[in-house]
Amino acid sequence: MAEVPTLLGGRYEVGELLGRGGMAEVHKGFDTRLGRPIAIKMLRSDLARDKTFIHRFQREAQSAASLNHASIVAVYDHGEDHAYTESGGSTINIPYIVMEYVDGRTLREVLTEEKQLDPTEAIRVTESVLDALAYSHRQGIVHRDIKPANVMVADDGSIKVMDFGIARAMADANATVTATSAVIGTAQYLSPEQAQGQSVDARSDLYSAGCMLFELVTGRPPFLGDSPVAIAYQHVGEAPVPPSRFAEDVPPDLDAVVLHALEKPREARYQDAAEFRTDLQAVRLGRPVSAAARASAAGLAGAAAAGTVLGAEATQALPRNDLAAAAAAADQTAAYQMPEAPVPPPPPDTSEHPLYDDEPRRGRGAYVALAVAVLAALGLLAFGLVNYFGTDEVPTVAVPSVVGQPRQTAEVNLARAGFTVDAVVAADDEVPEGQVISQTPEGGVQAPRNSTVRITVSGGPDNVQVPDLRGRSLDEATQLLDDLGLAVGEVTDVDDPDAAEDEVISSDPASGTDVKPGTRIALEVGTGQVEVPNVVGMSQNEAQRELADANLTVETEYQQTGDADEGTVISQDPKGKEKVDTGSTVKIVIAQKEAPTVTPTTVTPSPTESPSPSPSGSPSPSATGD
């Protein structure tokens, strides 16, 4: 492989290798113009002559550059640079993408080290990923490959999603392909529609996010197998196991959210990222999750109890060869697919029996069915007898009033009165955190002993965290604040060489601050202009550096003069203190020494010899000079 260029575009220094993928390498770099660390993704040199890969790489740059969100790794620039010359004389140009450098680890590295995350931390990470997906989906971009390796966890705890808009061109050990050999994702996080070669949409990303959340809380993906095809088969036709089966600290509501995200038909799962995030937030705050999530959990539980199999119809869309391979591997992964569900009996033999066989033999399934029918009949009989003869009246007691009490005190008082307690937490700006806001049934009402009393406990004010708005356009910042229940306050225009017009420079309160819903956030935004520094009298190097720091382009001329030191700026256009658009050209004139004055040389003719005296003895005219 050719040597990597040390300077790209005359601006970006290429440093150490950070990672290598199927079609590109990522290096740490440095932007010499803006003086900041960056990450540089370069197309592998052995693929740089393939137009297909080059076009895909360019599409990635264009897709990612259109996304500007705090939870998405930013793309600053892209281009191509000469890498090397082949022996035949042809040159190879290497496309590259300049990205934000995130100082941290991928979520895959975190999982490798910690095995699994606490449910609360897993929810926090997934909420940030869903924020990024909600934004990208609004821009019409589907990620297609959400997985832990594409999520960065920065050292400050922030979450960044990488590799938006990538059309993968090479498969690795975990890649699943269609019949046309086009890579469509990573097997462990593949949506059923991707596995079947169908078109994808935003809901496909949400299924992958559900797979990732499953792995965050359990330490393993929802489906495992010996090959990508076997795993894809399970995504299409096998019911997922609740995460709590592998991690006891997963609450039932989180089970419901994950199972709803992993619904096979895309119409049955979450329809947008905001809906998914709202349910996760409800789990984190102790509130009830959506009825749709609870219905998914109940439906899967019912399917397990009835021993139903999802794959009979769903797997028909898989290619025949892949289906056979998946079926062969299914036995090896059965331990992870609803172990409590009974295996359905084989279909009855409908072939014609020989004439000498007086009665067909009953299989084990027939006796099981008969036993179930008998038990069902006995149950119905018992139900009818109870309704006919009546039952003893259940004793009731007065429900104690616990509104305003601390949660622990309220639970003790209700338990002493003979009730079961179901507590939920809800935000409240008036009731102190930990105190009971309301109860059902209300205090003083007669209720059956051992029945359930539901209490709602205050979780304190439902504060909202101000997002990082730096680098966003004013319209994007306004939309994001509106999505969070916040509003834009005073907008101040600031001349900043590093900010485009209407690009947010800072916010007040600053990002990360907890504020109440409805708070107005003041913003400083760029004007797209900059004040030209006065560089007259500076040396050429000082002037060029000063103008470059102001994000201005320099045009240089030279003029001979004796009125200024050589190499200093004697004039500029535009003049200092004038405002111009960022990136404008400033013409500077540099003093040069005047050329030395050349004095003309006077040539004196050599003297002429005197002629002989005339006979008269008088001098000749030439001698006298007359």
Contact 136, 44 (CB under 8 A): no
Strand partners, 569: 590
Separation of alpha carbons 384 and 526, rounded Å: 77
The phi, psi pair for 479, rounded to 5°, reads -65, -45
Catalytic site residue 145? yes
Token pair listed for 571? 């004039």
Task: State how far the Cα of 593 lies from the Cα of 563, in Å rounded to an integer.
Answer: 9
- The answer to whether 60 touches 52, Cβ cutoff 8 Å, is no
Q: Name the residue among 432, 423, 431, 427 with its Cα closest to residue 455.
A: 423
Place of tokens 């708070």: 519
CA separation for the pair 546, 542 (Å, rounded)? 6
Catalytic residue among 31, 145, 205, 496: 145
Q: How far is CA 626 from CA 605, 608, 610, 612, 622, in A?
A: 18, 15, 15, 17, 7
Q: Which residues contact 557 (CB under 8 A, 6 or more apart)?
A: 587, 588, 589, 590
* Number of Cβ within a 10 Å radius of residue 331: 9
* Percent helix, percent strand, percent coil in the chain, to nearest 5: 35, 25, 45
Choose among 191, 161, 207, 164: nearest CA to 65: 164
- As a whole number of angstroms, the distance between CA 550 and CA 552 comes to 5
List residues with catalytic annotation: 145
